[in-house]
């Protein structure tokens, strides 16, 4: 992710059909708070904190609460009390582990297991459910060895996950643009890992932006594999910016397909706003997904 503030560091135009009355400038947003029409909520929406890091967390939470975004995600324990003050959840908890060093290498298993053994009870005690994890980079490793190693390491944590009702969720990331050499870079590989682990306490984070880059065919892939998906991320391609008509993915169609499947989890916005008013961008994109 080639941005001044990248997610890697954080972890370790037009308004067709939307109604300009919804988009209030930051300077007037406090005065016009009552003018925001809440989302319908057929899609449970969340926002990734790192993408809006320049906005104080309290301000972001207040805005999300008014709009009807129910979660601020990819947060660690120090920020959980703040979002709870606003009645929000953390739909995907940050693990604090590096993307490049994951479960695909056995030499990582002991320290990863020790780390997650501390995190899982904390996540449960806070009332959250999904905890992110990563495959790690290939470094010359083939798919089969990576699958075996990931399954072996993650299975060590499943009894604790089951005890605390916490789901480990491995993110699908592109290895073409943002995360060179990342192993879990295709839906087929991630689904095969889910099948080998065979537990409701391990699923996938289907990042729509990343999978558009790697394989496309988004709606068909989501429909065929929804049982393995615990969470979604958005982002405009190319550029990972606003998910509006300036890029190639038509998000309302993708969101309708997800909603029609009866999906009750969250869709987390993980785009980098280009607009000088990032909260206006968030509102616009949230309404595009409010199908």
Supply the range of the domain harboring residue 212.
7-14+25-288
Is residue 20 very low, low, confident or very high in pLDDT (cuts 50, 70, 90)?
A: very low
The pLDDT of residue 6 is 52
Q: CA angle, 212 as apex, 131 and 223 as ends, to 5°?
A: 70
Range name among 18-27, 29-38, 57-66, 163-172 with the lowest pLDDT average: 18-27
Is residue 33 very low, low, confident or very high in pLDDT (cuts 50, 70, 90)?
A: very low
**What's the CATH number where 220 sits?**
3.20.20.150
Give the C-alpha separation, 176 to 188, whole Å.
16
Domain-embedded: residue 20: no
Q: Is the pLDDT of residue 4 over 50?
A: no
Please compute Rg for the chain using Cα positions.
18
Q: Is the pLDDT of residue 117 over 60?
A: yes
Q: List alpha helices for the chain, DSSP H.
A: 7-11, 26-29, 57-67, 80-85, 109-125, 143-155, 158-164, 187-197, 208-214, 218-225, 251-260, 278-288
What's the number of domains the chain is made of?
Answer: 1
The pLDDT of residue 8 is 52
Q: Count the helix, strand and coil residues of the chain and give each as a percent rounded to the nearest 5.
A: 45, 15, 40
The pLDDT of residue 45 is 98
User: Which are the contacts of 254, defined by CB distance < 8 A and separation ≥ 6?
Assistant: 208, 218, 219, 222
Is residue 76 very low, low, confident or very high in pLDDT (cuts 50, 70, 90)?
A: very high
Domain-embedded: residue 40: yes
The pLDDT of residue 36 is 87
Domain-embedded: residue 188: yes
Q: Is the pLDDT of residue 252 over 50?
A: yes
Average pLDDT over residues 253-258: 98
Looking only at the bridges linking them, the beta strands covering 266-269 and 167-171 are unpaired
pLDDT in tens, 138-185: 999 999 999 999 999 999 999 999 999 999 999 999 999 999 999 999
Domain-embedded: residue 160: yes
For a pLDDT cut of 90, what percent of the chain falls above it?
88
The pLDDT of residue 24 is 40
Domain-embedded: residue 2: no
Give the C-alpha separation, 162 to 247, whole Å.
40
Tokens 């009750």, located at residue = 264
The pLDDT of residue 27 is 39
Closest by CA position to 288, among listed 256, 263, 240: 256
Q: Is the pLDDT of residue 210 over 60?
A: yes
Average pLDDT over residues 185-213: 98
User: Which are the contacts of 223, defined by CB distance < 8 A and separation ≥ 6?
Assistant: 257, 261
pLDDT in tens, 223-249: 999 999 999 999 999 999 999 999 999
Assess contact for 73 and 48: CB atoms under 8 A: yes
For a pLDDT cut of 70, what percent of the chain falls above it?
88
Q: What is the mean pLDDT of the chain?
A: 91
Domain-embedded: residue 268: yes
Give the C-alpha separation, 205 to 194, whole Å.
12
Domain-embedded: residue 128: yes
Q: Is the pLDDT of residue 256 over 60?
A: yes
Q: Is the pLDDT of residue 49 over 60?
A: yes
Assess contact for 197 and 159: CB atoms under 8 A: no
Q: Is the pLDDT of residue 81 over 60?
A: yes
The pLDDT of residue 2 is 34
Domain-embedded: residue 118: yes
């Amino acid at each position: 992710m080639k941005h001044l503030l990248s997610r890697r560091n954080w972890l370790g135009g037009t308004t067709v059909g939307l109604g300009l009355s919804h988009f209030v400038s930051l300077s007037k947003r406090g005065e016009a708070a009552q003018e925001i029409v809440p989302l319908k909520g057929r899609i449970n929406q969340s926002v990734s904190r790192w993408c809006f890091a320049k906005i104080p967390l309290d301000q972001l939470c207040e805005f999300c609460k008014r709009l009807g975004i129910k979660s601020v995600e990819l947060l660690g324990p120090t920020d959980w009390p703040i979002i709870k003050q606003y009645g929000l959840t953390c739909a995907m908890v940050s693990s604090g582990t590096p993307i490049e060093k994951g479960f695909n290498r056995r030499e990582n298993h002991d320290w990863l297991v020790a780390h997650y053994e501390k995190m899982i009870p904390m996540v449960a005690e806070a009332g959250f459910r999904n905890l992110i994890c990563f495959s790690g980079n290939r470094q010359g490793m083939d798919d089969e060895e990576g699958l075996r190693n990931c399954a072996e390491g993650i299975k060590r944590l499943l009894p604790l996950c089951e005890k605390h009702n916490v789901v480990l969720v491995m993110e699908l990331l592109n290895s073409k643009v943002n995360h060179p050499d990342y192993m879990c870079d295709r839906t087929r590989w991630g689904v095969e890992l889910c099948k080998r682990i065979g537990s409701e306490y391990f699923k996938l984070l289907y990042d729509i932006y990343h999978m558009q880059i790697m394989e496309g065919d988004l709606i068909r892939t989501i429909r065929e594999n929804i049982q393995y998906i615990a969470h979604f991320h958005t982002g405009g391609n190319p550029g990972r910016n606003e998910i509006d008509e300036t890029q190639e993915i038509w998000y309302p169609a993708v969101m309708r397909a997800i909603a029609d499947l009866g999906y009750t989890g969250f869709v987390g916005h993980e785009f980098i706003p280009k607009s000088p008013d990032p909260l206006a961008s968030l509102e616009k994109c949230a309404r595009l997904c409010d199908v």
